[in-house]
Amino acid sequence: MLKALGKHLLAEFYDCDQSALDNVEYVENQMNSAAIISGATVVKSGFHRFLPQGVSGVVIISESHLTIHTWPEYGYAAVDVFTCGDHVDPWKAFDHLKTVFGAKRTVTDEFKRGNYQAIGISENAPFKVEAI
C-alpha cells in the first residue's frame, strides 16, 4: 500500500437539490459539518454567493481543506476534500455532502498526495497534524 501524507478526493455531484446549492449559508454550514464529521479540525471558512446563482467556498482545516463550487441551474457541484494524517476520513465528508445536497449521481477519484517514497520519508515515520 502506498503511504502518503494525504488523501485528495475530487467529487462530482449530479442531480442535486438546486435550492440547496444556491443557499450560501446552507452550503457553508454543511461544508463545515462535513469537515467535523470527517474528524478534521476547522480553522476558518469563507463562502461567496454569485449573482444570479451559484456558491463557491473553502473550509480550511488543520489537516488541509474542503472546497466547493456549485452550479444550481444544473444541479451540479464540484467538491474537493483534501485531508492529511490518518485520523481524518475524507469519505465521511463525501458521504455527508452527497446526502445533504441530495446528489442522485456521483463520480469520485481519490489521489494520494505526498508519496512518502518520492519525498524520501521512511514508511515507518510517524505523521502528526497538530491543531493550532
How does pLDDT run across 47-100, given as a tens digit for each residue?
A: 999 999 999 999 999 999 999 999 999 999 999 999 998 899 999 999 999 999
Q: 8, 64, 96, 122: which one is catalytic?
A: 64
For the record, the C-alpha cell of 108 comes out as: 469520485
> Is 84 labeled as catalytic in the residue annotation?
yes
**Does residue 76 form part of some domain?**
yes
**Does residue 13 form part of some domain?**
yes
> Is 122 labeled as catalytic in the residue annotation?
no
Q: pTM score > 0.75 for this model?
A: yes
Print the domain residue range for 78.
4-119
Report strand pairing: 76-84 vs 4-14.
antiparallel
Q: 69, 87, 96, 122: which one is catalytic?
A: 69
Domain count, the chain: 1
Alpha helices in the chain (DSSP H): 18-21, 24-38, 90-100, 116-119
Q: 16, 84, 87, 96: which one is catalytic?
A: 84
In angstroms, the CA 67 to CA 5 distance is 19
59 neighbors 45 (Cβ within 8 angstroms)? yes
Domain holding 52: CATH number?
3.60.90.10
> Is 69 labeled as catalytic in the residue annotation?
yes
12 neighbors 97 (Cβ within 8 angstroms)? no
